[in-house]
Amino acid sequence: MQRCPVCQASFTGGNESCRRCHADLSLLLRIEQQADALASHAARLWAKGDVAGTQRIALRALALKRTPLATMVHRMACHYLNQLEISTSS
């Protein structure tokens, strides 16, 4: 999180509340951490060749926060599964 969603003050981290408005940001920070962990898990599944698992976990990560890593692994898995579907239907 780069800005406080309440007052838009820049957020530097290290504290779970906004320096300006003192809003409690702990829940949002935990959600971001969970999204990052899920995106990393999806990337590990991709490396292991578990395409369906990659797609499922990346989608969970994207539901929490649209990060570049989650977006990338989800797109790769979807593309692979679409190509697989095309080749098996021909």
Q: What digits encode the pLDDT tens for the residues 53-74?
A: 999 999 999 999 999 999 999 9
Tokens 């649209």, located at residue: 66
C-alpha Rg value of the chain to the nearest Å = 17
Q: What is the pLDDT of residue 13?
A: 75
Using alpha carbons, list the distances in angstroms from residue 83 to 76, 80, 86: 11, 5, 5
Q: What is the pLDDT of residues 2-55, one digit of tens each?
A: 899 999 999 887 789 999 999 999 999 999 999 999 999 999 999 999 999 999
Rounded to 10°, the helix 68-89/26-48 angle is 40
Closest CA to 37 of 8, 58, 13: 58
